[in-house]
Amino acid sequence: MGEPLGADYYVARTAQWTAGFDSEAEHLRPLLVQAYGEEETDAVLRQARQEFVSLIPRLPYIGGDENHLTGELVRSARCLALFKAMQAHGESAAETGKLLYDAMASLVGAAGAARQTLSPDELMARRRERAARSQRRQYPGDWVYSLVPGDGEAFDYGYDFSECAVQKLYHAHGADEFLPYYCFLDFAASRAAGLGLHRTMTLAEGHSLCNHRFKRGRETERDWPPPWLRSQGQGPAPQLRLSLSLHVLPQLFAVCRLEPAASIPAWPPSCGLWSVTRTEDELSVVLPADQAPATWRAERDWRCLKVQGPLDFGLTGILAALSVPLAGAGISIFALSTYDTDYLLVRAADLNKAKSVLMACGHTITE
2, pLDDT greater than 80: no
Secondary structure of 123-184 as H, E, C letters: HHHHHHHHHHHHCCCCCCCCCEEEEEECCCCCCCEEEEEEECHHHHHHHHCCCHHHHHHHHH
3-state helix, strand, coil in the chain (%, to 5): 45, 15, 35
Q: What is the pLDDT of residue 240?
A: 35
Please write the tens of the pLDDT for every residue from 37-75. 999 999 999 999 999 999 999 999 999 999 999 999 999
225-245 average pLDDT score: 58
Q: What is the pLDDT of residue 327?
A: 80
130, pLDDT greater than 50: yes
Q: What is the pLDDT of residue 234?
A: 33
pLDDT band with cut points at 50, 70 and 90 for residue 29: very high
- Contacts of residue 174, defined as CB under 8 A and 6 or more positions apart, other chains included, come to none
Find, among 93, 209, 207, 227, the residue nearest to 158 by Cα.
209
Instruction: Write out the H or E segment, with its range, that includes residue 25.
Output: helix 14-36
Catalogue all structural domains in the chain, each as residue range(s) with its CATH number.
7-224 (no CATH), 235-263+272-366 (3.30.2130.10)
Tell me the pTM. Answer: 0.65
Instruction: Write out the H or E segment, with its range, that includes residue 269.
Output: none
The chain-wide mean pLDDT, for the chain, equals 87
Find, among 360, 359, 361, 299, the residue nearest to 333 by Cα.
299
Q: What is the pLDDT of residue 319?
A: 83
Q: What is the pLDDT of residue 118?
A: 81
Return the minimum-mean-pLDDT range out of 2-16, 27-41, 328-342: 2-16
SS3 237: coil
Find, among 216, 215, 295, the residue nearest to 254 by Cα.
295
293-320 average pLDDT score: 86
Q: Which of the 8 DSSP states describes residue 203?
A: G
Amino acid identity for residue 101 in this structure: Y
- CA angle at 310 for the pair 305 and 315, rounded to the nearest 5°: 95
Please write the tens of the pLDDT for every residue from 260-277. 889 887 776 666 788 888
- 184/224 Cα distance (integer angstroms): 9
* Exposure string over 60-70, b if 16+ CB within 10 A, otherwise e: bbbbbeebebb
Q: What is the pLDDT of residue 222?
A: 86
Peptide bond into 149 cis (omega under 30): no
Please write the tens of the pLDDT for every residue from 196-229. 999 988 888 888 889 999 999 899 888 888 877 7
Taking every pair of Cα atoms in the chain, the longest distance, rounded to a whole number of angstroms, is 89
86, pLDDT greater than 70: yes
145, 53 contact by CB (below 8 A):
no
- 345/307 Cα distance (integer angstroms): 11
291-299 average pLDDT score: 90
DSSP 32-93: HHHHH-HHHHHHHHHHHHHHHHHHGGGSPPS-GGG-TTHHHHHHHHHHHHHHHHHHHTT--H
14-23 average pLDDT score: 94
Backbone angles phi, psi at 279, to 5 degrees: -125, 180
- 254/234 Cα distance (integer angstroms): 34
Residue predicted with more confidence, 14 or 360:
14
Return the minimum-mean-pLDDT range out of 4-8, 150-154, 199-203, 288-292: 4-8
173-186 average pLDDT score: 92
Q: What is the pLDDT of residue 115?
A: 60
pLDDT band with cut points at 50, 70 and 90 for residue 231: low
Q: What is the pLDDT of residue 23?
A: 93
Peptide bond into 310 cis (omega under 30): yes
Residues linked to residue 210 through DSSP beta bridges, in sequence order: 161
Burial of 249 (0-12, 13-18, 19+ CB in 10 A): middle
pLDDT band with cut points at 50, 70 and 90 for residue 238: very low
Contacts 24+ apart (CB under 8 A), 43-47: 43/89, 44/82, 44/85, 44/86, 44/89, 45/85, 47/84, 47/85, 47/88, 47/89
**Alpha carbon separation from 314 to 226, 227, 242, 318 (Å, rounded):** 26, 25, 14, 11
Amino acid identity for residue 325 in this structure: P
**Alpha carbon separation from 275 to 73, 257, 271, 336 (Å, rounded):** 54, 12, 11, 8
Find, among 367, 273, 363, the residue nearest to 326 by Cα.
363
Please write the tens of the pLDDT for every residue from 317-328. 788 888 877 887
